[in-house]
Amino acid sequence: MPHYPKHYCGVFGIYGQTNAAEMAYYGNYALQHRGQESAGIATSDGKKLFVHRGMGLVKDVFTPEVMRNLHGYIAVGHTRYSTTGASTINNAQPLTADCAKGRLAIAHNGNLTNASQLREELEAKGSIFQTTVDSEIIVHLLAQPSRDGTDSVLVEAIRRIEGAFSLVIMTERELIGVRDPHGFRPLSLGRMPTGSWVLASETCAFDLIEAEFVRDVRPGEIVIIDENGLRSLDAFPEQKTRAFCIFEYVYFARPDSTIAGRNVYKVRVEMGRELAREHPIQADIVVPVPDSGNCAALGYSLESGIPYEMAFVRNHYVGRSFLQPTQGIRDLAVKVKLNLIKDLVTGKRVIIVDDSIVRGTTSRARVMTLKDAGAKEVHVLVSCPPHKNPCVYGIDFPDRNKLLAVKNTLEEIRNYLKADSLGYLSQTGMVRATGLPESSFCMACYDGKYPVPFDEQLDKEIMERRRARIGSFSDDVSRALRQPRLSL
């Protein structure tokens, strides 16, 4: 398989638009890079919810016939890659449910670190779960009846969950946006020329539907949009620590998005410049690994003066191969994803720039391809530090033992890749390229400092208890079926 980190999800919401479903379609389309397993849209006409979810790409899930049946002026959309829960239609979002306030739909980007504990607690109280995704826990918490008719249930539910979450929630008459108190995942607020409010994981979705970016939803903020306009609640006034996932800048976000006031393209180019300052190399050309390495390679070229060449040509009809759900498709996609223009590298000293090396087998294949084509030297540079820790906040990095940098020194990694030299961008250089303070970010995958604690052993114990309960229930059913029937 290609050993890139797997993605998580994209969320979108719009309020007050007569063609809300159409706007959600294009919003999902713009966020397709955040997940290719499934897509969904839910809409409301103020009285009734309509929903359609399917496996695959947005363009395949939403046919003209499907779109004609999604009525209303409010919509939420979701594109998914499974970080928790299997890749099945049951786990596709938005999730919908009936509760005391009527029907609601929820789209979630992120990962809850206390999901196992909350699920066990809710099951003990009689909650029946229909999916294996942690997002359904939020649905059950939101479905509790309000004691005073205010927003207390919403705030209480959000305060119960821990970890990374950017949520877009729709009731029959409201659109709600929520961001976790650390701000792990992005969520932006925009406005259409018609006055309609829009929420999206990335601002590139606003550009497609010609919405104007207003601001980022603040960490810990709940925005509620209804017929009276927009109001804001601070669900976590005591939480001041911020922990935005810096890998959004390194890799995940589209380069045409703006996050925390920083254009992603410019940040990645600056990361390339930082690489050139930290790792000056005598070479003939700089080659990116498309598409994620393009910006950093350009930055290296601009800073070093070494010519930039697109020697690898990406087959854009393959898609992001690491997002495909089956091993067979992943293996095939690796072989057809990139093709080398041999004439550009033969007899040359080549610097190849990538955004990350997770397990290393794909990077090794790229180096061997260059050398087989006659490259005189191949120098590998990476626009972030080595990954040494798994992510528990929604990025499907493999477990620690499968990360190349955990058990290998820099020299051992270089030898494995068959590269003439290897250099990673330092954590200091990566942060400096963003122009934001180090305290703004979660960098646990690099430094092991997890902003929100999690109990891996407790999760394992809960899973064992759940399996034991399921086994006991199955035994009871089997015994009951073996009992002789009464003759009446």
What three-state secondary structure class fits 324? coil
Helix, strand, coil percent values for the chain (each to nearest 5): 35, 25, 40
Q: Which residues contact 373 (CB under 8 A, 6 or more apart)?
A: 340, 342, 345, 346
| The predicted structure's pLDDT at residue 320 | 46
CA–CA dist 480, 471 (Å, integer): 14
CA–CA dist 414, 287 (Å, integer): 18
The letter for the amino acid at 252 is: F
Q: Exposed (0-12), middle (13-18) or buried (19+): which is 231, by Cβ within 10 Å?
A: exposed
β-partners of residue 177 are 168, 223
Sheet holding 175-179: strands in order across? 95-99, 102-112, 163-171, 175-179, 221-226, 229-234
For CA atoms 88, 76, 170, 259, the dihedral sign is: positive
* Token representation of residue 60: 């395949």
Count the Cβ atoms, other than its own, within 10 Å of residue 460: 11
| The predicted structure's pLDDT at residue 354 | 96
Contact 201, 221 (CB under 8 A): no
- Residue of 9, 295, 384, 442 marked active site: 9
* Token representation of residue 132: 């294996």
Give pTM, 2 decimals.
0.87
CA–CA dist 281, 283 (Å, integer): 6
Contact 21, 28 (CB under 8 A): no
| The predicted structure's pLDDT at residue 479 | 46
| The predicted structure's pLDDT at residue 398 | 60
What three-state secondary structure class fits 464? helix
β-partners of residue 422 are 380
| The predicted structure's pLDDT at residue 481 | 40
| The predicted structure's pLDDT at residue 134 | 87
Question: Of 57, 62, 105, which Cα lies nearest the Cα of 79?
Answer: 57
CA–CA dist 42, 120 (Å, integer): 28
Domains delineated in the chain: 9-243 (3.60.20.10), 263-436 (3.40.50.2020)
Question: Of 65, 58, 11, which Cα lies nearest the Cα of 36?
Answer: 58
Q: Which residues contact 165 (CB under 8 A, 6 or more apart)?
A: 108, 109, 110, 111, 112, 138, 178, 179, 180, 184, 185
Is-catalytic flag, 9?
A: yes
| The predicted structure's pLDDT at residue 111 | 92
Contact 90, 58 (CB under 8 A): no
Q: Where are the alpha helices (DSSP H) in 16-125?
A: 20-30, 58-61, 64-68, 115-124
| The predicted structure's pLDDT at residue 377 | 98
Q: At what angle do helices 361-372 and 410-417 cross, to 10 degrees?
A: 50
Pairing of strands 285-288, 349-354: parallel
From first to last of its 488 residues, the chain has per-residue pLDDT tens of: 344 444 469 999 999 999 999 999 999 999 999 998 899 999 999 999 999 999 999 999 999 999 999 999 999 999 987 544 456 687 889 999 887 668 999 999 999 999 999 999 999 888 888 888 888 999 999 887 666 555 688 999 999 999 999 999 999 999 999 999 999 999 999 999 999 999 999 999 999 999 999 999 999 999 999 999 999 999 999 988 999 999 999 999 999 999 999 999 999 999 999 999 999 999 999 999 999 899 999 999 999 999 999 999 988 765 444 444 454 554 455 567 889 999 999 999 999 999 999 888 889 999 999 999 999 999 999 999 999 999 989 887 667 888 999 999 999 999 999 999 999 999 999 999 999 999 999 999 999 999 998 876 555 555 565 555 545 444 544 444 444 433 32
What residue ranges in 260-305 does DSSP mark as E strands? 262-263, 285-288
